[in-house]
Amino acid sequence: MSNLPWLEPYWQHLSDYSSQNRVPQALLISGHKGFGKLQLAREYTAALLCDNPQQKGLACECCNSCLLFKAQSHPDFIQLQPLEAGKNITIDQIRQLITRLSLKPQFDGYRVVIIEPAELMNNAAANAFLKYLEEPTERTVVILITDKPTRLLATIVSRCQKIAINQPDKAALNSWLKQHTQQENISLILSLAQGSPLLALQYANENILKLRNECFEAWLNISQQHIHPIIVAENWIKLTEAPLLTWMTTWIIDLIKCRFPINSDGLYNPDKKDHLQSLVERIESKGLYELYDLLLIRQKLLDTTVNKQLLYEEILITWSDLNLRNKT
Ligand SMILES: [Zn+2]
């Protein structure tokens, strides 16, 4: 792999498929967000389409196929995703795909389809796709990409060769990030990104640490009744780039952890340990677990067209009440 070193072993695996002439008809690439699943799939696609693959199976980047792929106009490459953010991949999309795949590829090489995020195929779409997998067309490779493999039909999963990308080694990621950003606090940013290197890099570039510190401050202020949760919710809906539900979830998880003797390394927010520890002394565990459950349930709504203002209000009011309830 050109620039994401932690994907090297997976690349090796894929390139072995090609060199041994056993390229699978369906591949499932899974792993957390920000691990580079799509990049891996796209590099493999480029290699499969390339007329003149190089050492280690990489695409040459200069043949006719490579140029067409780069220009996003290769006739034998199809990328399928929801037509609108927050929506499913529909049965109509899958039917159109299957019709297209029933024709021969335009060039002599492989034809490649990437479906991402694959778990967004609705039931009807998934069943239609399953029918295709039962009778796949020649020289065609379908690559499914997901960070939620358990949401796929088991019958689809069982027909795919699987590449599951694991959490990369922390020390290696630290040094990779150091090469790509000037930001200090690399370990902290990596921890906020929950170990996802590409997310960490995005955080570093967007100076997300400053924003997260401001949000944490507001969250503390709510706990001390210095500011009303509805005002904070109003401010927060403007922060579209901030993964606020994830942040709050890590704050709650860290609070729960702070109940026990723990060193900072074990926390998602090691720099906030003192604040968290003084907070947890006046909050009962039961309420924390309830808020944690609420966050997990609401997290599932995030991909939908949910009213974010109401969502933040509900969570922040629960948080405020939790602090009030236990102060006395
Ligand atoms: Zn090429």
- Can you tell me the distance from the alpha carbon of 7 to that of 43, in angstroms, rounded to the nearest whole number? 11
Q: How far is the CA of 58 from the centre of ligand 1 (A)?
A: 9
Q: How far is the CA of 46 from the centre of ligand 1 (A)?
A: 7
Q: To the nearest 5 percent, what fractions of the chain are helix, strand and coil?
A: 55, 10, 35
Residue 98 has pLDDT above 70, yes or no: yes
Report the pLDDT averaged over residues 244-261.
Answer: 92
Q: How far is the CA of 159 from the centre of ligand 1 (A)?
A: 29
Q: How far is the CA of 15 from the centre of ligand 1 (A)?
A: 15
- Can you tell me the distance from the alpha carbon of 209 to that of 285, in angstroms, rounded to the nearest whole number? 28
Residue 128 has pLDDT above 80, yes or no: yes
Residue-level pLDDT at 328: 47
Domains and CATH numbers, the chain: 5-164 (3.40.50.300), 207-327 (1.20.272)
Q: Is the dihedral of CA 302, 272, 252, 213 positive or negative?
A: negative
Q: How far is the CA of 243 from the centre of ligand 1 (A)?
A: 38
Residue-level pLDDT at 303: 66
Q: How far is the CA of 42 from the centre of ligand 1 (A)?
A: 13
Q: How far is the CA of 27 from the centre of ligand 1 (A)?
A: 22
The pLDDT tens digits of the residues spanning 217-245 come to: 999 999 999 999 999 999 999 998 788 99
Q: How far is the CA of 319 from the centre of ligand 1 (A)?
A: 55
Q: How far is the CA of 72 from the centre of ligand 1 (A)?
A: 14
Question: What residues have CB less than 8 Å from 197, skipping those under 6 apart?
Answer: 4, 6, 34, 35, 36, 168, 173, 176, 177, 190
Length of the chain in terms of residues written: 328
Own/partner contacts of 89-92, CB < 8 Å, gap of 24 or more, are 89/115, 89/120, 89/121, 89/122, 89/125, 90/122, 90/124, 90/125, 91/122, 91/124, 91/125, 91/128
Q: How far is the CA of 105 from the centre of ligand 1 (A)?
A: 17
Q: How far is the CA of 65 from the centre of ligand 1 (A)?
A: 6
Where do we find the tokens 């997300």?
208
Q: How far is the CA of 87 from the centre of ligand 1 (A)?
A: 35
Greatest Cα pair distance in the chain? 75
Instruction: Return the H-helix or E-strand segment holding 142.
Output: strand 140-146
* In contact, 36 and 166? CB cutoff 8 Å: no
- Can you tell me the distance from the alpha carbon of 160 to that of 126, in angstroms, rounded to the nearest whole number? 14
Question: Does residue 280 sit in helix, strand or coil?
Answer: helix
Question: How many C-beta atoms lie closer than 10 Å to residue 233's C-beta?
Answer: 22
Residue-level pLDDT at 55: 84
Greater confidence (95 vs 172) lies with 95
Q: How far is the CA of 59 from the centre of ligand 1 (A)?
A: 5
- Place 92 in a pLDDT band, splitting at 50, 70 and 90: very high
The pLDDT tens digits of the residues spanning 32-82 come to: 988 999 999 999 999 999 999 998 889 999 999 999 999 999 999 999 999
Q: How far is the CA of 107 from the centre of ligand 1 (A)?
A: 13
CA quadruple 298, 303, 309, 311: dihedral, nearest 10: -10
Residue-level pLDDT at 46: 97
Q: How far is the CA of 48 from the centre of ligand 1 (A)?
A: 9
Q: How far is the CA of 64 from the centre of ligand 1 (A)?
A: 7
* Mean pLDDT of all residues belonging to the chain: 92
The pLDDT tens digits of the residues spanning 192-222 come to: 888 889 989 988 888 888 999 999 999 999 9
The pLDDT tens digits of the residues spanning 259-291 come to: 888 877 788 999 999 999 999 988 988 999 999
Where do we find the tokens 């796709």?
129
Q: How far is the CA of 69 from the centre of ligand 1 (A)?
A: 9
Q: How far is the CA of 320 from the centre of ligand 1 (A)?
A: 58
With CA atoms as reference, report the closest residue to 85 among 306, 308, 304, 299.
304
- Can you tell me the distance from the alpha carbon of 204 to that of 177, in angstroms, rounded to the nearest whole number? 9
With CA atoms as reference, report the closest residue to 124 among 100, 95, 147, 98.
95
- Place 2 in a pLDDT band, splitting at 50, 70 and 90: low
Q: How far is the CA of 278 from the centre of ligand 1 (A)?
A: 59
Q: How far is the CA of 164 from the centre of ligand 1 (A)?
A: 27
Q: How far is the CA of 138 from the centre of ligand 1 (A)?
A: 21
Q: How far is the CA of 62 from the centre of ligand 1 (A)?
A: 5
Q: How far is the CA of 67 from the centre of ligand 1 (A)?
A: 7
- Amino acid at residue number 72: Q
Q: How far is the CA of 143 from the centre of ligand 1 (A)?
A: 20
